[in-house]
Chain A
Amino acid sequence: MKNITLNRFGFQIVALLLVLIITTLILLSVGAQPLQIYKDMLTGSVGSVKKISDVLVSWVPLLLVTAGLLITFAAGLWNIGVEGQVTLGAIGTTMLLRSLQDSGMNPALILGLSILAGMVSGALWAALAGALKTFGGVNEIFGGLGLNFVATALTIFLIFGPWKRPGTGSMSGTEPFAEPLHLTLFENLRLSPWALAVAIVGIVFVYFLLQGTYFGLRLKAVGKNFRAAYLLGIPTWQYMLFSFLLCGALAGAAGALQVTGVYYRLIPAISSGYGYLGLMVAMLINYQAIWAAPIAFFFAALNIGSIQLPILHKLDSSLSGVLQGMLVLFVLLAEGVRQRLTPRT
């Protein structure tokens, strides 16, 4: 057993080295200085408290989305629609904020309700993909992908239609909400303690759900062998649908926090690709909840660290995407090679 773990670890190290080597080659090929770039990315992400807090701002939605995806992956489902579920979370939150902002209610209550509304919206959007799968026979990948496009279109429609700014609609989004409807931030930072708390509660919840509960065990049984789970007496489609609901709620929370704690309005790209990035994190950690927090932090750090690149090196910030993508590919590849080389007993 120990040998296998060690072996796996070795292959992962090789994968990491390969990623570094190839990235370095790419950088050299465009005439950049790799070492300087790596150093700048490092200081740009964890070089100061402010930078770290910026990374955490990005970490919150990524971790929530990853937590949600761990549930659907446990049920054997590829919830690609998570991106749209983040978007719908943002839309639901914006809707409630808009309708209650002039009501004179306690702002804290409004904020709480609107985040809840975001979670419900995300969950319902996910349930749609789930219903398409269980009742319509539509693979969740296709259903989810389609719903993602619908979600984006809906956002654009709202921003330029019913929710447009006084005067004319613009790509910069809806009219920002007033100060009292913003989540409180740490002093001098962009990070909200409330958002941080929601993300941590989210991942801890998922960890215990999957590790210690009957629900989690049954969900895993459904994901690993649908037919056997049914024979063991587990109501399989209900469990699948429920995993969609939970994932959608967590993704919806991510969207809600983007509105209430980062942008204070609905913008066209409100989900910022966190859904897809979450899929990568989940794959990279081999669906183990315990690794979600550190790896999501690493990915967020890459995102933030690369922001400096255009200014300092005239390089596009998409380098972080290249690194993230390669990381996932090579780690999966290393695992594939390892399994192929390991003799079967």
Chain B
Amino acid sequence: MKVELRGIHKYFGQNHANDDINLTIPSGTIQGILGENGAGKSTLMKILSGFIHADAGEILLDGRPVRIESPATAIHDGIGMLHQDPLDFPPMRLLDNFLLGLPGNLFPNRKEAAQDFGLLTKEFGFSLDPQSYVDSLTVGERQQLEIMRLLFLGARVFIFDEPTTGISAAQKAKLFETLKKFPEQAITVIFVSHKLEDVESLCDRVAVLRQGKLIGEMALAPDANADEKPFDAKKLVELMFGREVSLGTKQAARQDRCALSLNHVSIEDARLKIQDVNFETHAGEVIGLAGMEGSGQDLFLRACAGLIRAVGGRIKVNSLDLTGKSYHAYKKNGVEFLPAARLEQALVPGLSLTEHFVLAEKQTGVFIDRERGRALAEERIKAFNIKGAPLNAVESLSGGNQQRTLLSLLRDPLSLILVEHPTRGLDIESVIYIWGKLRERCRQGAAIMFMSSDLDEVLQYSDRVLVFFNGRVSQPLDADKTSVKQLGELIGGIGWS
């Protein structure tokens, strides 16, 4: 099925998430979609699969304009999406999952469905037992189930969102083998990924998104139009990360005191394993963590704050062994964690600025001194240039002012500040302001470790950089001697021994 996207626009508030996207995907091709986080890939795919609606533009399937109202109408029109987290029902049998979403019948015909199930597994060489339960499957097998279900529902266009995250190499090979059979049946595959090698080995064509715009297209298959260039990883990295970098002057605030030391630390969650990390950071130093979302940097940062427990190794803050302690123990020893989801995880919607300052301060007596709280709020609002009044609820502030508020809640003195995306979604004025405040903290002796998907930010503000790829952690790179291109390649999985 041929898919055409014409003039797609999508705004989220001020944010232009999709800016005039025009993309034609011929029937029976495997189309890769590349882009860094926040480039607009997911938004575009959600529009195509009916989860959200475009503000402008149209979608044509086989030349026929369609209105995709919901995921149900999308599948009716032949578009099926496999999400990064499989949308299935673990406590149910495979067969029941397979039947879900099937239109009509009050009483599903299980026998017939079981036959179809058998035929499909044979066709693709999957070994799935329709009577077993989904929670006994691996992520890879759940993907297989989802593929079969969507095929059974009549999908002619498959959207895969980062399907190779969290599955084994063998399952990945199996998945690619399956996907390569799709073009024969004129089924179109849209493959969203940040892994260049996956795109290279699978896709016929690739489109790159950056900051909501479609920035370039490239044909990878040999039989494609001659005037389009063959696969060029370097070119793709350049397209994905764009701009020339202007490195600002570094400040050398590094002191001899070791702020954080990791000794053979291993961290795990359901998807990723980070193994045997040895790393030290000094007071006054800024460490940037680079990598595509979900490559392990988020786990790493949270483990350094005691928010998740490392499965092995020892973590010391200021030479004090805090292995296995809770975040509150870390906090007592001068560690602060600033999450990216400000309103969801860091601030309390419904409470005012004053109440936040009172909460963050040391308690004095049982009753709150309102006058003192007010004075405190006024002082901080002035010091941090927050546009808001003491009694304003935090959720009424803009993102930049929320981030300033968060910084103004930090206590003195601190030994380690861990920040997720310090400037995501902020205007340039706020970015400069926030980094000014963070650097001030460095001069006062705090070490800062931050993750960001903005490579310029990583290189500009870090002294050293750690790159994460699929749970692997690079050796610390000297930020002054690393280029955006090198960093981009490492993030995409190129150049790892």
Chain A nearest CB: distance from B225 CB in Å? 47
**Do B348 and A213 have beta carbons less than 8 Å apart?**
no
Answer whether residue A8 sits at the interface, using C-beta atoms and an 8 A cutoff.
Answer: no
**Do B358 and A230 have beta carbons less than 8 Å apart?**
no
Chain A residues with Cβ below 8 Å from B351 are 217, 220-221, 224
**Do B366 and A231 have beta carbons less than 8 Å apart?**
no
Q: A228-B345, A235-B328 are in contact. Are A218 and B359 (CB under 8 A)?
A: yes
Answer whether residue B245 sits at the interface, using C-beta atoms and an 8 A cutoff.
Answer: no
Chain B residues with Cβ below 8 Å from A212 are 367-368
What's the Cα separation between A232 and B347 when bound, in Å?
A: 8
**Do B348 and A228 have beta carbons less than 8 Å apart?**
yes
Task: Using CB atoms, name the residue of chain A closest to B350.
Answer: A224
What 1/0 flags go to B332-367 for Cβ under 8 Å of A?
000001010000111111110001001110010011
Chain B residues with Cβ below 8 Å from A323 are none
What's the Cα separation between A128 and B128 when bound, in Å?
A: 44
Interface size on A, residues (CB 8 A): 20
**Do B327 and A214 have beta carbons less than 8 Å apart?**
no
Give the one of B327, B337, B345, B348 with max A CB within 10 A. B348
Answer whether residue B316 sits at the interface, using C-beta atoms and an 8 A cutoff.
Answer: no
Chain A nearest CB: distance from B375 CB in Å? 17
**Do A231 and B337 have beta carbons less than 8 Å apart?**
yes
What's the Cα separation between A228 and B344 when bound, in Å?
A: 7
Task: Using CB atoms, name the residue of chain B closest to A221.
Answer: B348
What's the Cα separation between A229 and B409 when bound, in Å?
A: 13
Answer whether residue B331 sits at the interface, using C-beta atoms and an 8 A cutoff.
Answer: yes
**Do A225 and B337 have beta carbons less than 8 Å apart?**
no
Answer whether residue A234 sits at the interface, using C-beta atoms and an 8 A cutoff.
Answer: yes
**Do B350 and A213 have beta carbons less than 8 Å apart?**
no
Among B328, B339, B348, B366, the residue within 8 A (CB) of A224 is B348
Chain A nearest CB: distance from B341 CB in Å? 9
What's the Cα separation between A227 and B367 when bound, in Å?
A: 24
Chain A nearest CB: distance from B429 CB in Å? 22
Within 220-251 of A, Cβ neighbours of B (below 8 Å) are at 220-221, 224-225, 227-235
Answer whether residue A215 sits at the interface, using C-beta atoms and an 8 A cutoff.
Answer: yes
**Do A229 and B348 have beta carbons less than 8 Å apart?**
yes
**Do B368 and A217 have beta carbons less than 8 Å apart?**
yes
What 1/0 flags go to B386-409 for Cβ under 8 Å of A?
000000000000000000000001
What's the Cα separation between A224 and B359 when bound, in Å?
A: 13
**Do B349 and A231 have beta carbons less than 8 Å apart?**
no
**Do B328 and A214 have beta carbons less than 8 Å apart?**
no
Chain A nearest CB: distance from B262 CB in Å? 21
What's the Cα separation between A221 and B355 when bound, in Å?
A: 9
Among A208, A232, A235, the residue within 8 A (CB) of B359 is A232
Chain A residues with Cβ below 8 Å from B363 are 214
Task: Using CB atoms, name the residue of chain A closest to B396.
Answer: A345
Chain A nearest CB: distance from B256 CB in Å? 29
Q: A221-B348, A232-B360 are in contact. Are A213 and B367 (CB under 8 A)?
A: yes
**Do A217 and B349 have beta carbons less than 8 Å apart?**
no
Chain A residues with Cβ below 8 Å from B347 are 225, 228
**Do A217 and B328 have beta carbons less than 8 Å apart?**
no
What's the Cα separation between A214 and B328 when bound, in Å?
A: 18
What's the Cα separation between A225 and B344 when bound, in Å?
A: 7
**Do A233 and B328 have beta carbons less than 8 Å apart?**
yes
Task: Using CB atoms, name the residue of chain B closest to A230.
Answer: B327
Chain A nearest CB: distance from B359 CB in Å? 5
What's the Cα separation between A208 and B370 when bound, in Å?
A: 13
Chain A nearest CB: distance from B327 CB in Å? 7
**Do A234 and B359 have beta carbons less than 8 Å apart?**
yes
**Do B348 and A231 have beta carbons less than 8 Å apart?**
no
Task: Using CB atoms, name the residue of chain B closest to A216.
Answer: B368
What 1/0 flags go to A72-90 for Cβ under 8 Å of B?
0000000000000000000
Chain A residues with Cβ below 8 Å from B350 are 220, 224
What's the Cα separation between A217 and B337 when bound, in Å?
A: 22
Within 179-220 of A, Cβ neighbours of B (below 8 Å) are at 208, 212-215, 217-218, 220
Chain B residues with Cβ below 8 Å from A217 are 351, 355, 358-359, 368
Chain A residues with Cβ below 8 Å from B339 are 231
Chain A residues with Cβ below 8 Å from B331 are 233
Chain A residues with Cβ below 8 Å from B359 are 217-218, 221, 232, 234
What's the Cα separation between A16 and B485 when bound, in Å?
A: 67
**Do A215 and B366 have beta carbons less than 8 Å apart?**
yes
What 1/0 flags go to B232-251 for Cβ under 8 Å of A?
00000000000000000000
Chain A nearest CB: distance from B317 CB in Å? 16
What's the Cα separation between A147 and B328 when bound, in Å?
A: 33
Give the one of A217, A230, A231, A235 with max B CB within 10 A. A231
Task: Using CB atoms, name the residue of chain A closest to B332.
Answer: A233
What's the Cα separation between A208 and B359 when bound, in Å?
A: 17
Chain B nearest CB: distance from A327 CB in Å? 25
Chain A nearest CB: distance from B395 CB in Å? 10
Chain A residues with Cβ below 8 Å from B346 are 228, 231
The 4 closest A-B pairs by CB, nearest first: A225-B348, A224-B350, A227-B345, A221-B348
| Chain B interface (Cβ < 8 Å from any Cβ of A) | 327-328, 331, 337, 339, 344-351, 355, 358-360, 363, 366-368, 409
25 A-B contacts, Cβ less than 8 Å apart?
A212-B367, A213-B367, A214-B358, A214-B368, A217-B351, A217-B358, A217-B359, A220-B350, A220-B351, A221-B348, A221-B351, A221-B359, A224-B348, A225-B344, A225-B345, A225-B348, A228-B344, A228-B346, A228-B348, A229-B348, A231-B346, A232-B348, A232-B409, A234-B359, A235-B328
| Chain A interface (Cβ < 8 Å from any Cβ of B) | 208, 212-215, 217-218, 220-221, 224-225, 227-235
A215-B366, A225-B345, A233-B360 given; 6 more Cβ-contact pairs under 8 Å: A220-B348, A220-B350, A231-B339, A232-B348, A232-B359, A232-B360
